[in-house]
Amino acid sequence: MPLVGTADVVNPAARAGRGVGAFNVIQLEHAEAIVAGAEAAGAPVILQISENAVRYHGALAPIGTATLAVARAAAVPVAVHLDHSTSPELVAEAVALGFTSVMYDASTLPYEENVRATAAVRARCHAAGVWVEAELGEVGGKDGVHAPGARTDPGEAAAFVAATGVDALAVAVGTSHAMLTRDAALDFGLIAALRAGVPVPLVLHGSSGVADRDLTTAVEHGMTKVNIATHLNRVFTTAAREALAADRTAVDTRGYLGAGRAAVAEEVTRLLGVLRATAAHATATHARAAGG
């Protein structure tokens, strides 16, 4: 199946009350694993490349072009997204390469500056047929949407979407980036209020810190695009460490990177099931896993 537009993945899920997994790519193995996991689940997926990953590679084109190639060869619908870009120039490069969406992050700016900058980026991207996600958290907060205790105001969120014309909005409801434990406390009432007041799909960043049951509940209350990065990196690294420990003479990188790739594929399949489940199904699954 060819590369698809991000709207073609996110909008039907929002209408149906399903979650969409958006998983971050750092190496080529991540892209291959995420697509393999989505194919096993029979579900669409979004491959994301962050500004930090671009910085790691030194440029967007090499990892971006490879990720687009993996998406185009997939057997399920796959979109490719630029995640957390603070640079309009990087956004323009992603659009030129063929990315199907971008997330422009001006959330650390004061509100009016965020609106002006985001609206300008949105206009250029829409002219190229590219879907745009933005972020709103504390007004002028220097740590933006993921500052400790930050929460997005539903009225302000609705006004921001109207003023900028963006296609999706990342909101602050209790998560933070790079969590290594899955015990974030989500504000489900706020998610429901945001869903009722905001006319575009909602995006949950920092979802690595959210337990399975709460991911399902978040989707039921109105979240659609669910971003996961750190959790999959932990899965990859754990599998690679185990492979190296099992064979201390190993020098072929394919052995331990392949183990990481296989582990991530399996976890992506599982997580996509979590995002598409109902709360009742998730509770039953949890009970079975606990021996109940």
- Domains of the chain, residue spans: 6-280
Which residues neighbour 156 within 8 Å (Cβ) at sequence distance 6 or greater? 111, 136, 139
Which two structure tokens, joined as six digits, stand for 212? 């399975």
List 83, 167, 187, 212, catalytic entry? 83
Q: Indicate if 212 belongs to the active site.
A: no
Question: Could you read off the pLDDT tens digit of each residue along the chain, which spans 292 residues?
Answer: 679 999 999 999 999 999 999 999 999 999 999 999 999 999 999 999 999 999 999 999 999 999 999 999 999 999 999 999 999 999 999 999 999 999 999 988 888 999 999 999 999 999 999 999 998 754 333 344 445 467 788 999 999 999 999 999 999 886 655 555 555 667 888 999 999 999 999 999 877 768 788 899 999 999 999 999 989 999 999 999 999 999 999 999 999 999 999 999 999 999 999 998 754 444 444 444 444 3
Fold that domain 6-280 belongs to in CATH: TIM Barrel (3.20.20)
Strand partners, 3: 78
Distances (CA, A) of 78 to 27, 72, 99, 114, 245: 17, 8, 11, 29, 34
Q: How many CA atoms lie within 13 A of 194 on its CB side?
A: 32
